[in-house]
Amino acid sequence: MDHIFPIIHVAGIRFDLATLSMMLLTSIIVFVLARLAVRNLSVTNPTKLQNFLEWVIEFVENIIGTSMSMKQGRPYLVLGLSLIMYIFVGNMLGLPFGIVTDVHHGATAFGFELDLKGEEHGHVAWWKSPTADVGVTGALTIIVILLTHFEGLRLNAKHYLKHYVEPHWAFLPLALIKEVAKPLSLALRLYGNIFAGEVMIGVILGMGWIGIPALVVWQGFSVFVGAIQAFVFCMLTMVYMSQAIVHEEHEEH
């Protein structure tokens, strides 16, 4: 049961239709959820969804609060909220079912030929978590990492630049490696966890009827992993942000 993804070539660029459609679906779900929650906004008598979204906001505020003061962290609240909602919804989307089509060489989508990697016959998976694609997690990571560097330079330039050569300029390579490792670990952790979860589901499905109890257990575990990964991504975003913009306490002593 080796699944490939529906990839088409348009003007020499490869497009992954499954990831793109799931990306769009995830975004729509997040946005519709948020819109439904803020429909009929009320100060004294909030709807259930509004309550839920306010709970999410407080949850993210707490995450921010663990790494920096709320005054410094408030501008990143919307970023954190969007990240955690998008990643959580994305992680959950891939779990309940899969859509796999059996295609032969020459099959097309939107008028473009599917890339079957040279094989005559393939199982194409159309349904998956958008976060199970390294390009997606990489994009989210790059947004976060670029923003941390930008904010570090904007708000805290002296300390931000100094921390590269502290305590000695010879530490510069180490600091640079650290700065490269941050986005890599952030992107690959999320991608690895969700992708591995989906691969595991594929493997268990391959076991047939015997695999059902294992599938139930693994699905439950994947819900847990998906939630934890969304939380961790948001948490690390705020930690990196605080590292870039907050004066480190021990330097002042």
Partner 1 sequence: MDIVWSNFFIQLVAFLILLWLLKRYAFGPLFGIMEQRRQYVAEQIATAEASKKEAEQQLEQQKQALQEARKEAYDIIELAKATSTKQAEDIIQVAKSESTRLKDDAVKDIESEKNKAVAALREEVGGISVKIASKIIEKQVDEKSQEQLVNQYLKEVGSK
Q: Which is nearer to partner 1, 95 or 136 (CB)?
A: 136
Q: Which is nearer to partner 1, 75 or 98 (CB)?
A: 75
Among residues 3, 21, 25, 50, which is the contact residue for partner 1, using CB under 8 A?
50
- Which of these segments, 35-43, 104-112, 174-182, 240-248, binds partner 1 (CB under 8 A)? 35-43
Identify the H or E element spanning 150: helix 134-162
The label of the residue with tokens 């954190």 reads 80
Q: Under the criterion CB under 8 A, does residue 107 sit at the interface with partner 1?
A: no
Q: Under the criterion CB under 8 A, does residue 166 sit at the interface with partner 1?
A: no
Q: Under the criterion CB under 8 A, does residue 155 sit at the interface with partner 1?
A: no
- Contact present, 80 and 230 (Cβ < 8 Å): no
Pairwise CA distance, residues 104 & 108, whole Å: 10
- Which of these segments, 46-54, 120-128, 170-178, 238-246, binds partner 1 (CB under 8 A)? 46-54
Q: Under the criterion CB under 8 A, does residue 19 sit at the interface with partner 1?
A: yes
- Which of these segments, 17-25, 102-110, 171-179, 210-218, binds partner 1 (CB under 8 A)? 17-25
Q: Under the criterion CB under 8 A, does residue 147 sit at the interface with partner 1?
A: no
Q: Under the criterion CB under 8 A, does residue 136 sit at the interface with partner 1?
A: yes
Could you give the C-alpha distances from 240 to 41, 82, 227, in angstroms and in order?
A: 33, 17, 20
∠ CA(79), CA(229), CA(163), 5° rounding? 60
- Which of these segments, 73-81, 198-206, 231-239, 245-253, binds partner 1 (CB under 8 A)? 73-81
Helix (H, G, I), strand (E, B) or coil at 94: coil
Pairwise CA distance, residues 100 & 102, whole Å: 7
Q: Under the criterion CB under 8 A, does residue 7 sit at the interface with partner 1?
A: yes
Q: Which residue(s) pair with 112 in the sheet?
A: 109
* Distance of closest approach, residue 2 Cβ to partner 1, in angstroms: 13
Q: Which residue(s) pair with 125 in the sheet?
A: 100
- Contact present, 98 and 132 (Cβ < 8 Å): no
Q: Tokens at residue 204, please?
A: 């268990």
Q: Tokens at residue 75, please?
A: 């501008």
Among residues 63, 64, 79, 201, which is the contact residue for partner 1, using CB under 8 A?
79
Q: Under the criterion CB under 8 A, does residue 38 sit at the interface with partner 1?
A: yes
- Contact present, 205 and 211 (Cβ < 8 Å): yes
* Distance of closest approach, residue 84 Cβ to partner 1, in angstroms: 12
Q: Which is nearer to partner 1, 41 or 170 (CB)?
A: 41
